[in-house]
Chains A and B, each alone.
Chain A
Amino acid sequence: MVAVAVWAAMTGPVEIKGADLLPAILAKTGYACQADAQAMLQGTVLLNIRMPRIALAILVGAALALAGAVLQSLFRNPLADPGLIGVSSGGAFGAVFVIVIGHAWLPFAGFASQWMMALFAMGGGIGTTFFIYRLGLVNGRPHMTTLLLAGLAVNAFVGALIGLLIYVASSQELRTLTFWSLGSLSNVSWTHVWIACAFIVVPMVTVWSFVRPLNAFLLGEAEAFHLGVPVTAVKRNLIFISAAMVGASVALCGIIGFVGLIVPHLLRLLLGPDHRFLIPGSVLLGALVLMLADLIARSVVQPAELPIGIITALLGAPFFLGLLWQTKLKDFG
């Protein structure tokens, strides 16, 4: 992972060789005695553009994979992904709302509108999750099948609302929102990273305390209760922890699909279902995968870049199919 991070730091429109990495950082931070212009440029690119971007890729990748792992276990459904509880669609609605209608009503432009978008996406995501969670309560307890169906219905409804907004959007707005919906890690600053830290790292640490209850959940909900797990509280906390992590990711870099679905899957095949390995594994592999995807996204069509969502799906889907094929051969062949 460190190697990929270093490699990612070296790749880009401004070429930086491995040997130049350290002098460049030193020059920029003022520790080098004689800094030349080249080293200063490289230092700026490294510290202000590439490193925050790499840091955010690590955080977002880890968050998406972890939320996927948690939700798959909670729903005991290997097809569950963060989209199910409405974070993605709600977040998308918030962002599209700002893109299409926001600038007409809200006196924000340029930099501020970026912030508005992040805020609305986050609010839309968590708000939608809350709404679905409330719909899924039966006798005050979250009922997973009801939650799943409520999620489907609300997602479809929010999707229609987004469709309406798209219908009234101008072509410039359309372009912005298409790119947003495909996900991107461009224009990342350290501020983004700090926000991500608050909304991703804190929930991520709390997930660790749920490792044993999550294992019990795989036995079944009643069984988890018999084993002393306070089922209702655990479900509620984990759903909102996931929503916070995914909401922050969607707000900062748009919708990045497939990472949350595939990474936990892959790890279950490799490490088994025990969450003591699955949880840290998802964090590490999710970070690694998104860092690599971002590296590819910004280096294949230099100096332009591809939306990262295209890369994760384009490479993730065939890889996943290959994996399925192999398990099929092993089990039935």
Chain B
Amino acid sequence: MLRNIHYRLGYQSILNNISWDIEPGRITAVVGPNGAGKSTLLKILSGELLPTEGEILLHDRPLVHWSTVQLARMRSVLPQSFELSFDFTVAEVVSMGRMPHTIRSQTQTNPRICAEALQQVGMQDFAERLYTTLSGGEKQRVQLARVLAQVWPEASHPEPRYLFLDEPTSNLDLHQKHTILSIARKFMHNHIGSVVVLHDLNLALKYADTAILINAGEMVEAGNVMDVLTAANIERIFHMRATFLDNPYDAQRPWLVTAPR
């Protein structure tokens, strides 16, 4: 839960008065123009940056009162860009996701979860491959498996878990974009709350339940994704002409078409 979050760098206000509840089992899309503060918001959510004002509550307790390990057991983050130049195998990269759980989980649990996470992203046949030899889409799926493994549901530890994805589809082809988000969508059934920074508004419309639209650090609108990403809002914030067409493949989610003004 976010309460009146402000973030300032020097005299420059990056985020201004943002409040929002993240609900388990739902995907919230964070949308807005470049430089609006989307990634900053995600960094504040994950505890990487401390808000200048306001507070984030996790289980009714301020985020700063949780230890780094306790946080790591409840939320995982897929960063925007990723560079790993050391020769780890795919299985080794995924197993790092279980690092915060090594102390308390039983020894058989972690390898089983890693194998299931790889299965979930369809990379089970790549376990022994070197990470550095994979294609961009494959690397992204392995990273996704790592962050899924980190918040994998365990019957013995039923606390809610959260998944934060920062532009998980950038640099991916059409098919890979949908693969990544479908996997995330499916994973939400485990009662996991998710926040995803997205640029492609049609992807947000298709995969998110709720959305936060921010512009220049201000929250423009938040709520049901269909209510936030309206033609009027898109015209105002992105300075584009926007209209919705019927989507022949999905009756519930119309297709957004845009053109420069």
Residue interface mask B34-72, A partner, CB < 8 A = 1: 000000000000111000000000000000000111111
User: How many chain A residues have a CB neighbour from B under 8 Å?
Assistant: 20
For B86-109 the 0/1 string (1 means CB < 8 A from A) is: 111000110011011010000000
B21 touches A (CB below 8 Å):
no
Contacting A226 at CB < 8 Å: which of B77, B83, B87, B92? B77
B76 at the interface (CB under 8 A from A): yes
Q: Which residues of A contact B28 (CB under 8 A)?
A: none
Interface membership of B111, Cβ < 8 A: no
1/0 per residue, CB under 8 A from B, across A223-267: the answer is: 101111111000000000000000000000000000000000000
- Whether the pair B79, A220 counts as a contact (CB closer than 8 A) is yes
A127 within 8 A of B: no
Q: Name B150's closest neighbour in chain A (CB-CB).
A: A227
Query: Which A residues touch B150, using CB under 8 A?
Result: 226-227
Name the CB-closest residue of A to B76. Answer: A226
Contacts of B76 in A (CB 8 A): 226
Closest Cβ of chain B to A190, distance in Å, is: 40
Q: Indicate if the CB atoms of A226 and B72 lie closer than 8 Å.
A: yes
Q: Select which of B70, B75, B83, B96 is within 8 A of A216 by beta carbon.
A: B96
Question: Please, how many angstroms separate the alpha-carbon atoms of A274 and B96 in the complex?
Answer: 11
Contact of B100 among A215, A222, A223, A228 (CB under 8 A): A228
Contact, CB under 8 Å: B86 / A273: yes
The minimal Cβ–Cβ distance linking A142 to chain B, given in whole angstroms, is 15
Q: Does B82 contact A (CB under 8 A)?
A: yes
Contact A222:B99 (CB < 8 A) given known A228-B68, A273-B86, A274-B88: no
Instruction: Give Cα distance in the complex from A218 to B86, angstroms.
Output: 7
Interface residues on B, range: 20 to 34
Contacts A223-B79, A228-B68 hold; do A216 and B86 have CB atoms under 8 A apart? no
Measured CA separation A223–B100 after assembly (Å) = 12
Q: Give the shortest distance, in Å, between A76 (CB) and chain B (any CB).
A: 8
Q: Does A212 contact B (CB under 8 A)?
A: yes
A219 at interface, CB cutoff 8 A: yes
Docked pose: A227 CA to B77 CA in angstroms: 9
Once bound together, how far apart are the Cα atoms of A216 and B92, in whole Å? 11
User: With an 8 A cutoff between CB atoms, is B161 at the interface?
Assistant: no
User: Is the CB of A272 closer than 8 A to any CB of chain B?
Assistant: yes
Closest-by-CB residue of A relative to B43 is: A222
Question: A220 with B83: in contact, given A228-B99, A274-B92 (CB under 8 Å)?
Answer: yes
User: Cα distance A212–B86 when bound, in Å?
Assistant: 15
Whether the pair A272, B87 counts as a contact (CB closer than 8 A) is: yes
Q: Which of B98-152 contact A (CB under 8 A)?
A: 99-100, 102, 150
B72–A273 CB distance below 8 A: no
Counting CB contacts under 8 A, is B84 at the interface? yes
Provide the bound-state CA to CA distance between A229 and B82, in Å. 18
> Does A192 belong to the interface (CB within 8 Å)?
no
Q: Chain A residues near B102 (CB, 8 Å)? A: 212
Known: A220-B82, A220-B83. A228 touches B69 (CB 8 A): yes
Give chain B nearest CB distance to A217 CB in angstroms: 10
A73 to B114, CA, bound (A): 24
Write the nearest CB–CB distance from B40 to chain A, whole angstroms.
13
With contacts A212-B102, A222-B48 taken as known, whether A227 is within 8 angstroms of B87 at the C-beta atoms is no
Contact present for B46 and A273 (CB under 8 Å): no
List residues 82-139 of chain A with CB under 8 A from any CB of chain B.
none
When C-beta atoms are compared, the residue in chain B nearest to A233 turns out to be B68
- In A167-223, the 8 Å CB interface with B consists of 212, 215-216, 218-220, 222-223
Residue in B closest to A218 when the chains form the complex, CB atoms: B86
Give the B-binding residues of A (Cβ under 8 A): 76, 212, 215-216, 218-220, 222-223, 225-231, 268, 272-274
Q: Interface of B with A (CB < 8 Å)?
A: 46-48, 67-73, 75-77, 79, 82-88, 92-93, 96-97, 99-100, 102, 150
Report 25 cross-chain contacts, Cβ distance below 8 Å, ordered by A residue.
A212-B102, A218-B86, A219-B84, A220-B79, A220-B83, A222-B77, A223-B79, A225-B47, A226-B46, A226-B72, A226-B77, A227-B72, A227-B96, A227-B99, A227-B100, A228-B69, A228-B70, A228-B73, A228-B100, A229-B68, A230-B67, A230-B68, A272-B88, A273-B86, A274-B92
The 4 A-B residue pairs with the shortest CB-CB distance, nearest first, are A228-B72, A228-B100, A273-B86, A228-B69
